[in-house]
Amino acid sequence: MRTPEHYAADVLFFFDGHPEELALYEALFRAVEEAFPEGSVRVQKTQISFYGRHLFAAASLPVRRRKDWPKICLVVTVGLSYRLDSPRVAAASEPYPGRWTHHILVTEAGQIDEELMGWLREAWDFAESKR
């Protein structure tokens, strides 16, 4: 996976004061890097974005935390052509017809499992199918 020159420092800055979430992100990054070695990653102000030709997923800290969300979690966002029907999806919206954005909360490294990686693969395929 391609990373920018200051990636490591940017990730540490992004997760400053959030060591548990940093550990979750590092586990996610290892899985994404293994699954999508041809992809790239970019640290932005509010999220860390994963790209093929187009954005297919992101990781972020919860900004507007709902009351029922866990105190420590990483938000993994995927875009798909359909709405996921899973209790793991904390929030979903359809910003454009046929494009669903899903936010999945990850509270432990074990949740970066085959199901989540399958959704990331679908998101990659969906993003790569765009012109």
Dump pLDDT digits (tens) for 64-90: 777 788 999 999 999 999 999 999 999
Domain coordinates of the chain in residue numbers? 7-128
CA distance 117 to 131: 24
pLDDT of residue 63: 80
pLDDT of residue 67: 79
User: pTM for this structure?
Assistant: 0.95
Confirm if 52 and 128 have CB atoms less than 8 A apart. yes
Dump pLDDT digits (tens) for 39-73: 999 999 999 999 999 999 999 999 877 778 899 99
